[in-house]
Structures are given as C-alpha cells and as structure tokens.
C-alpha cells in the first residue's frame, strides 16, 4: 500500500495517535462509569463527557489555526494552550 501521498511526519502521526488515545480513553471511561456524567456548566445546557471532548477538540483546532495564522512562534505553544483549554472545558462546561 503506497501512502506516500499522505506526507506522514512524526507530528502528524503524534496528532492522530493522540486523538485515537483520547477516543479510546473515553470508551474505557464510559465502560467503567456508564452514562457520560451529564451536567450543566457555564454554557447552561447539559453536556456529557463526549460532548466536552468534542468541544475540546473543536476548540483546539481553532486555537491551532489561529496560532498558525497570527504568529510565527512554535506550534507546541498552541498545543499547551489547547491542553489548558481542554482542562477548563472538562472542569467548567
């Protein structure tokens, strides 16, 4: 199978590994504690763990796009900001 058109690099591979790990972790968490732990946070509507993961991933995508568009700094800083954002989403949303 020729995958040369995909331009696999270590950062790309780490990105997909991280997303796969998060989804697998959420699956294990849901199996261990079913129900998704719904709660109402600062958005004032009910969210589950899966909703909060989706919001975190979507926000991380926008953070990275903005970082690429507005700065010339290393992309790892956007990743750090995204992790802080994800922790805040899981805590307060």
Number of other residues whose CB lies within 10 A of the CB of residue 14: 11
- How confident is the model at residue 13, as a pLDDT? 80
CA torsion sign for 80, 85, 86, 88 is positive
pLDDT one-digit tens code per residue, 38-82 = 999 998 999 999 999 999 999 999 999 999 999 999 988 999 999
- How confident is the model at residue 3, as a pLDDT? 63
Which of 50, 61, 49 is closest to 85 using CA atoms? Answer: 61
Cα gap 76→68, rounded to integer Å: 11
Q: How confident is the model at residue 87 (pLDDT cuts 50, 70, 90)?
A: very high
Q: Is 9 a residue whose pLDDT tops 80? A: no
Domain residue spans of the chain: 37-93
């Amino acid at each position: 199978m020729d995958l040369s058109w995909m331009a696999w690099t270590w950062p790309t591979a780490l990105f997909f590994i991280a997303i796969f790990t998060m989804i697998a972790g959420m699956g294990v968490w849901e199996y261990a504690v079913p129900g998704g732990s719904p709660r109402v946070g600062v958005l004032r509507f009910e969210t589950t763990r899966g909703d909060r993961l989706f919001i975190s991933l979507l926000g991380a995508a926008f953070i990275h796009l903005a970082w690429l568009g507005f700065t010339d700094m290393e992309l790892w800083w956007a990743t750090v900001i995204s992790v802080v954002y994800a922790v805040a989403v899981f805590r307060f949303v």
